[in-house]
């Protein structure tokens, strides 16, 4: 299981700071989530990334306007092995990804899994914090998704904190208003202990707004937690 620090783009402008940290720590491998960047911003993003020591980006979170040429670039230059997308019920589906369809995975987000859509792609991208929030606040969705998870391959994971509020419940009107991707304390990851080893894939991205330096500490914590799970 490979746990990757991630350059996220949720907080406007902070991704530049994360790229600077990647350069500072001479990291050679990261995940990238350019999900909040338009085409022009993505050009700047990857231009700055060229100035770092990064040689591999094993895992990328796509957005629906990313072109086939951009995916080609990531696979060719950075040896990307897995991509994830949201369901087409939330965002338009990628228009042309045929050559890479089998390494693109559908993430569990607000909408419950659609098996027919999963069959069109490589399988599931399991976001553990979304799964845990469903367990706590949307039991029917949770039970549906658990059944689906057992039937299809999990090609990649997102890991973030499990908060004590329904950050995915749009009816409560509080989606994202308490920074659900920001980790305040390591114990917010202890919920991972409840999930079986079979749910953990070879590629895991830390979906955190936290700095890269903090993510490296988080990586150590999760590595110890998962190692103990496998040994027991």
Distance CA 111, CA 144 (A): 11
17-31 as b/e, with b when 16 or more CB fall inside 10 Å? ebbebbbeeebebbb
Mean pLDDT of all residues in the chain?
90
Give pLDDT tens digits for 129-185. Answer: 999 999 998 999 999 999 999 999 999 999 999 865 444 444 444 444 456 789 999
Amino acid 73: pLDDT? 96
Amino acid 107: pLDDT? 96
Name the 3-class secondary structure at 31. strand
As beta bridge partners, residue 7 has 32
| pLDDT category of residue 98 using cuts at 50, 70 and 90 | confident
Mean pLDDT of 182-203: 94
Amino acid 228: pLDDT? 76
pTM, 2 dp = 0.90
Q: What domains, with CATH codes, occur in the chain?
A: 2-231 (3.20.20)
Mean pLDDT of 69-76: 96
Q: Are 133 and 162 in contact (CB under 8 A)?
A: yes
Structure tokens at 151: 């039937």
Q: At what angle do helices 212-231 and 14-24 cross, to 10 degrees?
A: 70
Mean pLDDT of 92-96: 69
Q: Does residue 200 register a pLDDT over 90?
A: yes
Mean pLDDT of 67-78: 95
Beta-carbon count within 10 A of 185 CB: 8
Give pLDDT tens digits for 49-62. Answer: 999 999 999 999 99
Which residue has 């993505």 as its token pair? 42
| pLDDT category of residue 96 using cuts at 50, 70 and 90 | confident
Q: C-alpha angle with apex 144: 97 to 163, nearest 5 degrees? A: 90
Question: Comparing 58 with 229, which gets the higher pLDDT?
Answer: 58
Amino acid 231: pLDDT? 67
Return the percentage of the chain with pLDDT > 70, whole number.
89
DSSP, res 97: -
Amino acid 76: pLDDT? 97
Q: Are 192 and 128 in contact (CB under 8 A)?
A: yes
């Amino acid at each position: 299981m490979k746990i990757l620090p991630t350059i996220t783009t949720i907080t406007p402008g902070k991704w530049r700071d994360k790229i600077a940290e990647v350069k500072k720590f001479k990291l050679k491998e990261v995940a990238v989530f350019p999900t909040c960047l338009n085409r022009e911003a993505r050009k700047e993003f990857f231009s700055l990334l060229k100035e770092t020591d990064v040689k591999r980006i094993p895992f990328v979170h796509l957005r629906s306007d990313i072109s086939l040429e951009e995916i080609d670039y990531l696979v060719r230059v950075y040896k990307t092995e897995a991509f994830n997308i949201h369901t087409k019920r939330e965002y338009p589906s990628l228009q042309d990804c045929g050559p890479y369809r089998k390494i693109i995975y559908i993430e569990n987000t607000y909408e419950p899994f659609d098996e027919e859509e999963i069959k069109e792609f490589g399988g599931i991208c399991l976001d553990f914090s979304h799964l845990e929030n469903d367990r706590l606040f949307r039991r029917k969705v949770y039970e549906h998704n658990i059944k689906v998870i057992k039937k299809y391959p999990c090609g990649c994971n997102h890991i973030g904190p499990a908060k004590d509020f329904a950050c995915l419940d749009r009816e409560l009107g509080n989606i994202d208003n308490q920074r659900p991707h920001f980790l305040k304390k390591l114990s917010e990851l202890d919920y991972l202990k409840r999930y079986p080893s079979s749910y953990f894939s070879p590629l895991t991205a830390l979906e955190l707004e936290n700095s890269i330096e903090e993510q490296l500490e988080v990586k150590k914590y999760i590595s110890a937690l998962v190692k103990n799970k496998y040994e027991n």
